[in-house]
Amino acid sequence: MFAGRDGSEKLQHSSALHPLSSKDWSLKPENNVEGRNCGVMEGYLFKQASNTFRIWNRRWFKVEDNQLMYQGFKNGSTVMMNDLRLCEVKNFNNTGCRFCFEVTSSTKSCVLKADSEMTKQVWMRAIQNRETSCTDSSHDSELKDPVREMVKKRKVMNVQGKMREVALRLEMAENPGVKEQQEDEDHKMNVLQNRRPISTNILTAEELDQVCPGRQIGISIVTWNMAGQKELPDNLNDLFPPTTADFSQDMYVIGVQEGCPNREEWQRKLQETLGQRYVKLHAASLGVLSLTIFTRTVLTHYFSQVKDATVTTRFFPQIKTKGSVGVSFTFCGMSFLFITSHFNFSTGVSKVSQRIQDYKKMITGLALSQHSNGTKPDPNLDVTTQYDVVFCFGDFNFRLTEDRESVMATLYHHTGDNMDVLLQHDQLSKEMDKGSVFRGFREAPIHFTPTYKFNMGCDVYDTSSKHRTPAYTDRILYRSKKKKDIKVIQYDSCPTVKTSDHRPVMGTFQVKVQPGTGWYGVHHCPLF
Of 19-33, 141-155, 183-197, least confident by mean pLDDT is 183-197
Compute the mean pLDDT over every residue in the chain, rounded to the nearest whole number: 77
Given the DSSP bridges, would you call strands 216-225 and 251-257 parallel, antiparallel or unpaired?
Answer: parallel
What strands lie across the sheet with 505-512, from one edge to the other? 278-286, 289-296, 251-257, 216-225, 505-512, 486-493
Mark whether 215 and 94 lie in a shared domain. no
Residue 53: the pLDDT is 64
Higher pLDDT, 5 or 65: 65
Q: How far apart are the C-alpha atoms of 189 and 181, rounded to whole Å?
A: 13
Mark whether 506 and 378 lie in a shared domain. yes
User: Can you tell me the mean pLDDT for 226-245?
Assistant: 86
The reply to whether the predicted model has a pTM over 0.95 is no
Q: Please check whether residue 164 lies inside any domain of the structure.
A: no
Mark whether 231 and 124 lie in a shared domain. no
User: Can you tell me the mean pLDDT for 182-204?
Assistant: 37
Mark whether 112 and 211 lie in a shared domain. no
Mark whether 220 and 122 lie in a shared domain. no
Mark whether 385 and 483 lie in a shared domain. yes
User: Can you tell me the mean pLDDT for 59-64?
Assistant: 88
Of 80, 100, 129, which closes a domain? Answer: 129
CATH number assigned to the domain comprising residue 55: 2.30.29.30
Q: Please check whether residue 349 lies inside any domain of the structure.
A: yes
Q: Is 520's pLDDT higher than 50?
A: no
Q: Please check whether residue 490 lies inside any domain of the structure.
A: yes
User: Can you tell me the mean pLDDT for 146-162?
Assistant: 42
Q: Is 105's pLDDT higher than 80?
A: yes
Q: Is 60's pLDDT higher than 50?
A: yes
Q: Is 254's pLDDT higher than 70?
A: yes
Mark whether 272 and 125 lie in a shared domain. no
* Secondary-structure breakdown of the chain: helix, strand, coil percentages, each rounded to the nearest 5: 25, 30, 45
CATH number assigned to the domain comprising residue 269: 3.60.10.10
Burial class (CB in 10 A: 0-12, 13-18, 19+), 412: exposed
Helix 178-188 / helix 146-153 crossing angle, nearest 10 deg:
20
Mark whether 80 and 222 lie in a shared domain. no
Report whether 476 contacts 489 (CB < 8 A).
no
Of 94, 116, 113, 112, nearest in space to 9 by CA: 116
Of 82, 112, 129, which closes a domain? Answer: 129
Of 216-220, 316-320, 413-417, 467-471, least confident by mean pLDDT is 316-320
What element of type H or E holds 72?
Answer: none
Higher pLDDT, 330 or 94: 330
Total tally of structural domains belonging to the chain: 2
Mark whether 108 and 215 lie in a shared domain. no
Burial class (CB in 10 A: 0-12, 13-18, 19+), 35: exposed
Q: Please check whether residue 440 lies inside any domain of the structure.
A: yes
Q: What are 108-119's pLDDT values in tens digits?
A: 888 898 888 888
Helix 159-174 / helix 117-132 crossing angle, nearest 10 deg:
110
pLDDT tier at 154, thresholds 50, 70, 90: very low
Residue 125: the pLDDT is 86
Q: Please check whether residue 193 lies inside any domain of the structure.
A: no
**What torsion do the CA atoms of 316, 320, 322, 325 make, to the nearest 10 degrees?**
120
Domain that residue 392 falls in:
205-512
21-35, 164-178, 179-193, 246-260: range with highest mean pLDDT? 246-260
